Amino acid sequence: MVPLPFFLPFAELEVGQHLYWQVGGYQIHGQVFLSSWLVIGALLALVVAGTRKLERDPRGVQNLLEFIWGYLRDLSREQIGEKAYRDWLPFIGTLFLFIFVSNWGGALVPWKLIHLPSGELGAPTADINTTIALALLVSLAYFYAGLSRKGFRYFEYYVEPTPIMLPFKIVEDFTKPLSLSFRLFGNILADELVVAVLAFLVPLIVPLPAMFLGLFTSAIQALIFATLAAYYIGEAVHEEHH
């Protein structure tokens, strides 16, 4: 690294470096798991604090949880449809909450204060492994949703409205997880990089607008991922009305 006239501990850039752990002969990215455990811990703490005493007249955190629940229910009901949304609400909701808290955690928590031997902590969703894992789960989910609801009639979807669509629909099955994972990964990583580069160049004030934009993008990306996941599942369980 080029020596700088001044040194700032918060403004180093490390991209593509990972904290490797060995698990049974396989390598995993330790920093992703560390931050994801923090995210999951925060989520569970919020949920446990809010649902310890559920009342008919909500108070405190229960209001927030009910708002989130209603928001996610509306999202999945709108995309999946009245009949099947109940089965998929937990999955869609978990995707949304996990991605949202990951993104915001990556943007808001001063991870640099925790020093790792290699790599750095950040949003778990800024790692391609996480986003591909989530996207593949969505693929599995919509296949499972379609097959369990319609059996082999699910494959009619590939030739509707006309068999000419068959190759496109098959390609879609590959592009869906690809676009889902790369969209999320790219947005979150780009946001972290922009903020990091700006903080590296001008450590004061200038990164703030980019940080706010980052918060906005993070929320939007969580919403987009959850909405698209719900839409794919909805597409798979959709019954054609002849």
Partner 1 sequence: MTSWLLLAAAGAPEGGLFDLDATLPLMAVQVVILTFILNALFFRPVGKTVEERESYISTSRAEAKQQLAQTERLEADLRHQLREARQQAQTLIVDAEQEMDRLYRSALAEAQAEANASRESARREIDSQRQQAEDTLNGEADRLGDLIVTRLLAVQ
Contact between 78 and partner 1 (CB under 8 A)? Answer: no
Give the pair of three-digit tokens for residue 162: 């006309």
Q: What 8-state DSSP symbol labels residue 152?
A: G
- Pick the stretch among 12-20, 150-158, 159-167, 224-232 that binds partner 1 (CB under 8 A): 12-20
CA distances from 54 to 50, 64, 66, 74, 114 (A): 8, 12, 10, 21, 36
- Pick the stretch among 91-99, 107-115, 145-153, 208-216 that binds partner 1 (CB under 8 A): 91-99
The CA distance from 26 to 120, in Å, is: 20
Q: For partner 1, which is the closer residue by CB, 40 or 213?
A: 40
Long-range contacts of 172-179 (CB under 8 A, 24+ apart): 173/139, 176/135, 176/138, 176/139, 176/228, 176/232, 177/132, 177/135, 177/136, 177/138, 177/139, 178/135
- Pick the stretch among 60-68, 170-178, 202-210, 212-220 that binds partner 1 (CB under 8 A): 60-68
Give the pair of three-digit tokens for residue 174: 């590959």
The CA distance from 148 to 237, in Å, is: 9
Contact between 82 and partner 1 (CB under 8 A)? Answer: no
The CA distance from 62 to 95, in Å, is: 20
Contact between 219 and partner 1 (CB under 8 A)? Answer: no
Q: For partner 1, which is the closer residue by CB, 98 or 231?
A: 98
Residue 85: CB minimum distance to partner 1, A: 11
Which of the residues 147 through 206 are near partner 1 (CB under 8 A)?
A: 189
Q: Which residues bind partner 1 (CB under 8 A)?
A: 1-2, 13-18, 20, 23, 26-29, 32-33, 36, 40, 43-44, 47-48, 50-51, 54-56, 58, 62, 65-66, 69-70, 73, 89-91, 93-95, 97-98, 124, 127-130, 132-134, 136-137, 189
